[in-house]
Amino acid sequence: KTDNNLVSTSKFLSLVLRHRPEVVGLQLDDEGWLDINQLIANANERGKDLTLESLHDVIASDDKKRFALSDDGLRIRASQGHSVTGIDLKLDETTPPERLYHGTVEKFLSSIRATGLQKRSRNHVHLSADEATATKVGSRRGKPIILRVDAAAMHQTGHRFYLSDNGVWLVDAVPTDYLTFP
Ligand code: HQG
């Protein structure tokens, strides 16, 4: 398998498992899982080349470990990044490190200063544990701007933090008071 195939399969899985399971005629269960054999069968029916092997390749090699298998190996889900509503990943609430980071771009700053970080189309605001990761996240949209989040203070005042299986910090929102702008 070439990297191109893996990337394209990873993008397809992100689409199905985070945003639009209906493209393969399926619904995620309450915790975001899909049955692997059903996913493959339905994808194949719709002309999408997907095999058990390519699926396992992507799970193992994906650069951000975006997908996880259930313990019994029969189901797959995205570890974070969902916009599908009504699912609960059942992540444990976790005490965050003192500081977290968010990578964004200039054009969003005035809005972020006004309303804080909001989840927009996704189910959570995504925060990074280190500036290098936040820089990569911001770079997807242009010249990255890194905001620092006072996670300790947020946590102390009762905001809940969740850590996805692939190391992304998830919160409902970050009020401006807890943000430091560059
Ligand atoms: C911005 C990737 C205006 C926010 C990454 C961001 C991540 C606001 C955009 C994951 C705002 C939302 C998520 C406000 C936030 N006003 N703009 N009040 N609050 N924004 O893609 O964090 O490769 O939903 O700064 O690694 O960029 O897909 O979130 O620019 O983990 O696996 O609104 O996506 O992972 O964009 O990225 P997104 P994100 P994957």
- Helix H, strand E, coil C: the string for 107-128 is HHHHHHHHHCECCCCCCCEEEE
Instruction: Specify the pLDDT at position 4.
Output: 79
Find the 58 Cα to ligand 1 centroid distance in Å. Answer: 23
Instruction: Specify the pLDDT at position 97.
Output: 98
Find the 148 Cα to ligand 1 centroid distance in Å. Answer: 15
Our answer on whether the CB atom of 83 is closer than 6 Å to any ligand 1 atom is no
Residue with token string 């059903």: 38
pLDDT at 1 over 80: no
pLDDT at 27 over 80: yes
Our answer on whether the CB atom of 171 is closer than 6 Å to any ligand 1 atom is no
Residue bearing the CA closest to ligand 1, atom 35:
81
Find the 126 Cα to ligand 1 centroid distance in Å. Answer: 7
Q: Give rounded-to-5 percent helix, strand, coil for the chain.
A: 40, 20, 40
pLDDT tens across 125-165, in order?
999 999 999 999 999 999 999 999 999 999 999 999 999 99
Tokens of 6: 């893996």
Ramachandran area for residue 143 (φ above 0: left; ψ -120 to 50: alpha; else beta): beta
Instruction: Specify the pLDDT at position 2.
Output: 61
Query: Counting Cβ atoms within 10 Å, is residue 143 exposed (0-12), middle (13-18) or buried (19+)?
Result: exposed
**At 146, is the secondary structure helix, strand, or coil?**
strand
- pLDDT interval class at 3 (50, 70, 90): confident
Residue range 168-172: mean pLDDT, rounded: 98
* ipTM of predicted assembly, 2 dp: 0.96
Find the 116 Cα to ligand 1 centroid distance in Å. Answer: 13
Best residue for ligand 1 mutational test, from 9, 16, 120, 121 (most atoms within 8 Å of Cβ): 120
- 160/4: higher pLDDT: 160
Residue bearing the CA closest to ligand 1, atom 24:
122
Arithmetic mean of pLDDT over the chain:
96
Note the pTM of the prediction, 2 decimals.
0.94
Q: Tell me if 66 sits within 8 A of 81, measured CB to CB.
A: yes
Find the 47 Cα to ligand 1 centroid distance in Å. Answer: 31
pLDDT tens across 49-59, in order?
999 999 999 99
Backbone phi, psi, residue 157, to 5°: -90, 10
Instruction: Specify the pLDDT at position 42.
Output: 98
